[in-house]
């Protein structure tokens, strides 16, 4: 009886431990789905050596591209999916739009070799590498060699950190089943929410990151900013794990090209 009394609580304590699954391993190189938009042209289809026009079943060369990059100067107004800005920040956006439409890179951090910042960084247009340990997950963006760390060991941002905002911000996270929940704060104002919309110093970000299926990673992002946004902005990014042959990112070294030709 004494033995049963001793063992039973131990077993009960042990059950959750035995049942708890190890968190998934997100490590690897990924590419986003539709990084340049659904209408991105000039890429992919038709690339490679083309057979002669007389070559049997060939239907001739691929169509000539009609666009070189997505239109991102604001000339078409704001997308219905864009963050809903408060009047002061809408005025800032209008100023940025005029600058872009004039062909200026003044408000394009990427053109200045600055980090894209969170959450725009999670667009990962040129690919992403995830490095995971028990206590930390690091997300690396090939575009501008940008990096962010998510601490999983229970630490919280100190006042010193909150007083020192950065492009990537300060991220802490924990596992809820197979989903990684991340909170990001300490984001400074010299970045743009999705790459275009301005934000304030009180912006914070919540993410839920999980595998939808093997190799298909989803990041559900919610941005809150009481000064700049009339309501939280939500976006979802999806990435496919790279296969052999494309599973290496390359150095970006942006300042190599600052200035002019070599």
Q: How many C-beta atoms lie closer than 10 Å to residue 141's C-beta?
A: 24
CA 158 to chain centre: 24
SS3 131: strand
Q: Does 100 bind other proteins (CB under 8 A)?
A: yes
Strands 179-185 and 204-213: antiparallel
Binding mask 8-47 for other proteins (x = CB under 8 A): -----------------------xxxxxx---xxxxxxxx
How far apart are CB 236 and other proteins at their closest, in Å? 15
Q: Does 215 bind other proteins (CB under 8 A)?
A: no
37 or 226: CB nearest other proteins: 37
Among 11, 14, 51, 215, binds other proteins (CB under 8 A): 51
How far, CA to CA in Å, does 227 sit from each of 48, 80, 88, 199, 232? Answer: 50, 20, 9, 8, 11
How far apart are CB 200 and other proteins at their closest, in Å? 22
What one-character DSSP code corresponds to residue 85?
B
How far apart are CB 26 and other proteins at their closest, in Å? 17
Residues 233-252 that bind other proteins (CB under 8 A): 239-240, 246, 249-252
Residues 149-208 that bind other proteins (CB under 8 A): none
Alpha carbons 198 and 101: distance in angstroms, whole number:
17
Alpha carbons 149 and 147: distance in angstroms, whole number:
7
CB 207 within 8 A of CB 219: yes
- Which residues lie near other proteins (CB under 8 A)? 31-36, 40-52, 61-62, 64-73, 100-101, 103-105, 108, 110-113, 126-127, 142-144, 239-240, 246, 249-254, 256-262
């Amino acid at each position: 009886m004494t033995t049963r009394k001793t063992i039973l609580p131990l077993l009960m304590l042990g059950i959750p431990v035995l049942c708890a699954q190890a968190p998934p391993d997100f490590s690897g190189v990924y590419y986003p789905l539709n990084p340049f938009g659904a209408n991105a042209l000039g890429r992919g289809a038709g690339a490679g050596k083309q057979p002669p026009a007389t070559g049997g079943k060939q239907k001739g060369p691929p169509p000539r591209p009609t666009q070189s990059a997505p239109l991102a100067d604001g000339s078409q107004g704001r997308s219905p999916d864009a963050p809903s800005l408060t009047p002061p920040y809408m005025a800032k956006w209008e100023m940025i739009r005029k600058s872009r439409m004039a062909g200026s890179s003044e408000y394009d951090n990427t053109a200045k070799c600055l980090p894209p910042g969170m959450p725009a960084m999670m667009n990962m247009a040129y690919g992403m590498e995830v490095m995971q340990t028990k206590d930390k997950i690091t997300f690396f963006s090939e575009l501008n060699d940008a990096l962010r760390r998510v601490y999983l060991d229970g630490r919280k941002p100190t006042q010193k950190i909150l007083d020192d905002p950065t492009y990537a911000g300060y991220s802490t996270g924990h596992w809820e089943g197979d989903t990684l929940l991340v909170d990001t704060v300490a984001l400074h104002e010299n970045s743009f929410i999705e790459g275009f919309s301005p934000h304030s110093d009180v912006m914070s970000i919540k993410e839920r990151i999980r595998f939808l299926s093997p190799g298909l990673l989803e990041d559900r992002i919610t941005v809150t900013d009481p000064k700049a946004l009339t309501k939280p902005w939500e976006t979802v990014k999806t990435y496919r794990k790279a296969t052999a042959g494309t599973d290496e990112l390359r150095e970006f070294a942006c300042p190599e090209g600052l200035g002019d030709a070599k």
